[in-house]
């Protein structure tokens, strides 16, 4: 009897796992349509990503110049989401930053499509391609409609080393603040020139 019950539980668990992997019930699956996005829509995606990158960079550099790298953590935690929200409203799209090694998993994890693209970015860099200006876009079909999906690499640059570099080189004050604010932080030990994350843009067509 006990063995029979164990087999039933295992069968249920396997069935449930397969359903999750298949997306039933669950998040919509994105499937590339193979079509080229409208030029104007793609240009909007590029403009939005540039606005987000420039806005974040400007706020971070200003904070570092005035108060040092520790202040940059405050900007990332509070100001950057506001910048992303403003850009998203302006373009009527979802515009934000994601990473395979996020600092804040509740905000920084990408969906399945975004994770696949970020892994392809890592592979391209490993083959010797420079991450600067690296991008990827597709028109994808989901149960809720067709979307333009666009991603642009955020490369690791020297100014980011104070908070994202080798853990042993990060100052004690920053390590302490990271441990307090982001107990599940994975956004460290990123070498300069590698992929730190990406800007992602998603808008219905």
Domain range summary for the chain, segments of one domain joined by +: 38-204
Decide which of 3.40.50, 3.30.450, 3.30.1300, 1.20.1070 is the CATH code for 38-204: 3.30.450
Cis check for the bond before 25: say yes or no (omega within 30 of 0). yes
DSSP 37: P
Question: CA-CA distance, 125 to 65, in Å (whole number)?
Answer: 31
pTM here? 0.81
The residues that bridge with 151 in the sheet, in sequence order, are 136, 200
Identify the helix (H) or strand (E) that includes residue 91. helix 80-91
Find, among 162, 33, 164, the residue nearest to 97 by Cα. 164
44-79 exposure pattern, b = at least 16 Cβ within 10 A, e = fewer: bbbebbebbbebbeebbeebbeeeebbebbebbeeb
Tens digit of pLDDT per residue, the chain (205 long)?
Answer: 444 444 433 333 333 333 333 333 344 466 777 889 999 999 999 999 999 999 999 998 898 888 888 888 888 889 999 999 999 999 999 999 999 999 988 888 999 999 999 999 999 999 999 998 899 999 999 999 999 999 999 998 888 888 898 888 989 999 998 889 899 889 889 888 899 999 999 999 9
Q: Measure the N-to-C terminal CA separation of the chain; round to a whole number of Å.
A: 56
């Amino acid at each position: 009897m006990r063995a029979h019950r164990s087999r039933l539980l295992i069968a249920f668990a396997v069935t449930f796992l397969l359903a999750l992997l298949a997306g039933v019930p669950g998040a919509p699956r994105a499937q590339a349509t193979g079509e080229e996005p409208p030029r104007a829509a793609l240009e909007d995606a590029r403009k939005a990503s540039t606005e987000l990158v420039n806005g974040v960079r400007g706020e971070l550099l200003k904070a570092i110049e005035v108060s040092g790298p520790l202040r940059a953590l405050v900007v990332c935690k509070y100001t950057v989401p506001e910048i992303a929200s403003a850009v998203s409203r302006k373009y009527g799209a979802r515009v934000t930053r994601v990473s395979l090694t996020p600092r804040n998993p509740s905000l920084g994890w990408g969906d399945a499509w975004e994770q696949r693209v970020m892994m392809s970015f890592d592979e391209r860099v490993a083959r010797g391609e420079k991450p600067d200006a690296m991008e990827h876009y597709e028109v994808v079909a989901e149960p809720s409609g067709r979307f333009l999906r666009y991603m642009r690499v955020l490369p690791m640059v020297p100014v980011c080393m104070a908070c994202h570099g080798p853990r042993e080189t990060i100052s004690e004050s920053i390590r302490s603040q990271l441990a307090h604010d982001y107990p599940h932080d994975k956004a460290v030990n990123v070498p300069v020139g590698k992929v730190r994350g990406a800007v992602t843009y998603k808008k219905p067509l």
